[in-house]
Chain A
Amino acid sequence: MSSIQFEQVTRVFERRSGSYKALEPVSLTIVDQEFVAIVGPSGCGKTTLLRMAAGLDFPTSGRVFVGNKPIQGPGPDRAVVFQQFALFPWKTVCENIAFGLRCRRVPKKQLQQLVAKFVRLMGLEDHEDSYPHQLSGGMQQRVAIARAYAVEPGVLLMDEPFGALDAQTRAEMQEELISIRRVQPRTVLFITHSVEEAAFLSDRVVVMTGRPGRIREVVDIASIRAAEEWNHRPIEEVMSLESFGRIRSHLWRLLRHTKSVEQPTLPDTGLMALRAAS
């Protein structure tokens, strides 16, 4: 069971200029093998949530559980894919993929089998001995995904993994991710700026708003996705479906109208009056 649970999680960053509240209490449960994307503007705390699940950051209050165990730090049950790929430039493709396995002291034969398996799965067969800087951005991110999958984690944490790729490569990678998920199902927490990407990939989309970060709404699209077999259709076809269009506009509306509706600004005079009174 690899569920992720955020329980009343808050995060306050201490800065020289004072403390900065990044997250209001946030509660969210992602069940085993579910794909959940978080969308929201920069500074809404979505990456902070992912880093907490990874054990790279810790909540100011509240608790985070993975597989019902509280998180103490990075662990073998969770792997992270970063936007910047974060490949070791001095290691070949194979050595990058093998890194996590070596940390775990996986026996040599099993290690080679696992590396070969994910090299094949990510279509990296001709690049095993290349260095990262010899590969295109898309290929580099394939290596990073293979490296994360190779340790066979229950949970995959993906922090805007396709944000640095061009539009065409990005679409290819999105389809690729769905097809890997069919053979290697995992619990996935996926952070993105892109409404379309979130809708195309996820079972549920969490819409967050910023400063301080909070969950605006959780949009469940798992049933539509299953009924219309999104996972078996090319991206351009899914994106032209009426249901996809409806979900996309709904998500956009949530993102755009939150601030002005929820946070009315006090008129100047009122503020002055309040100050005068205190």
Chain B
Amino acid sequence: MTSASTARPLPASVTYLGLATVGLLAFFGVWFLASISGLAPKRVLPSPSDVAVTLYQISVHPFAGYTLGQHLASSLERFLAGFALAAAAGIPTGLLMGWYAPFRYAISPFFDSLRFVAPLAWVPFAALWFGTGFGGPILVIFSGAFAPCVINSFRGARLVDEHLIEAARTLGAGHFRLMGQVLLPGAMPSIIAGLRISAGLAWQSLIGAELIVVSSGVGYLIVQGQGDVAPAVVMAGMTAIGFVGIAIDSILLMIQRGIVRRWQGAAQ
């Protein structure tokens, strides 16, 4: 009893890393065993080593017209454009909804029903209105990323300390300055949290759009892999999507931590 209660617990980060490693090893172990034992035939499930080799090959030699790096670059370009557009439109919309009640009431029914329409449902119109090159996929990404931007900016604006708004008003701030210098920074922690959700949805929607409409990008690479009955290529594409997703989220997480640190005074 005594020894158990006085035993010093491992630091959280060590425990976390350890468990993550165990989980990954178990996952790859089962996968590897399944493929070498013949339980899962190669044309159904490629082995981890096949995927690794394929990842290397498509990074060096073009597949479906481009190398993996080029596919990723063209996906990322679309992602950034759609994501930036969603943030640029969504953040002011959300702040305005938080600040000005008539606007909120006017836009809510429209917005609330629209956000249940899955991004992929926009694909036909996206292709019809903006074509299959750059504009179409961007509308699909936009439709995935817009709602979380709006909702979190709105919540953030509502949570800004009322005294800060009153202080700014008594000091002579107009509507424009209030939005830009009080509501926006005040809502920033919530906005960044929303951007992380948005980025995830945008990245997912993009791959979905690429499966259908375009002729480059990681989604297109996967479709071509499917056409060539090359499951290792499909899985290599999926792996790349996962890693890039983690990278995007890590960057936003870093920004989020920086902001929360600087904003700490707000909560105290």
CB atoms of A56 and B163 under 8 A apart: no
Tell me which of B161, B173, B185, B265 contacts A103 (CB under 8 A): B173
Q: Which 8 A-B pairs have the closest CB atoms?
A: A133-B265, A89-B265, A100-B171, A103-B172, A86-B167, A86-B163, A89-B266, A90-B185
Interface residues, chain A, CB within 8 Å of chain B? Answer: 54-56, 73-76, 78-80, 82, 84, 86-90, 99-100, 102-104, 131-134, 147, 151
Partner of B167, one of A78, A80, A133: A80
B164 within 8 A of partner (CB): yes
Sample of 19 more A-B contacts, CB < 8 Å, known A79-B170, A82-B163, A99-B168: A54-B170, A55-B170, A56-B166, A56-B169, A73-B169, A76-B172, A84-B161, A86-B166, A86-B167, A87-B167, A88-B185, A89-B263, A90-B262, A99-B181, A100-B171, A103-B174, A131-B265, A147-B171, A151-B172
14 contacts between A and B (CB under 8 A): A56-B170, A74-B170, A75-B172, A78-B170, A82-B163, A82-B167, A86-B161, A86-B163, A89-B264, A90-B263, A100-B171, A103-B173, A104-B172, A133-B266
A235–B186 CA distance with the chains assembled, in angstroms: 39
How far apart are the CA atoms of A206 and B56 in the complex, in Å?
A: 82
Q: How far is the CB of A222 from chain B (nearest CB, A)?
A: 28
CB pair B171 A103 closer than 8 Å: yes
Q: Which of B161, B172, B262, B266 has the most CB of A within 10 A?
A: B172
A76 to B172, CA, bound (A): 6
Look across to chain A and name the residue whose beta carbon is closest to the beta carbon of B185. A90
Question: Complex formed: what's the CA distance from A99 to B169 in Å?
Answer: 11
Most chain B CB atoms below 10 A, which of A74, A79, A89: A89
Binding site for A on B (CB under 8 A): 161, 163-164, 166-174, 177, 181-182, 185-186, 188, 262-266, 268
- The minimal Cβ–Cβ distance linking B151 to chain A, given in whole angstroms, is 22
Contact A88 B182 (CB under 8 A): yes
Nearest CB of chain A from residue B111's CB, rounded to whole Å: 27
Nearest A residue (CB) for B182: A88
Chain A residue contacts of B182, Cβ below 8 A: 88
Q: Within 8 Å CB of A87, what residues of B? A: 167, 265
List A contacts of B262 (CB < 8 A).
Answer: 90, 131
Identity of the chain A residue whose Cβ is nearest the Cβ of B268 in the assembled complex:
A133
Residues of A within 8 A of B188 (CB): 90
Residue of B163, B173, B264, B268 with highest tally of chain A CB at under 10 A = B163
A84 partner, pick from B163, B171, B174, B263, beta carbons under 8 A: B163
Determine the chain B residues whose CB is within 8 A of the CB of A151 once the complex forms: 171-172
Q: In the complex, which residues of chain B have a beta carbon less than 8 angstroms from the beta carbon of A79?
A: 170-171
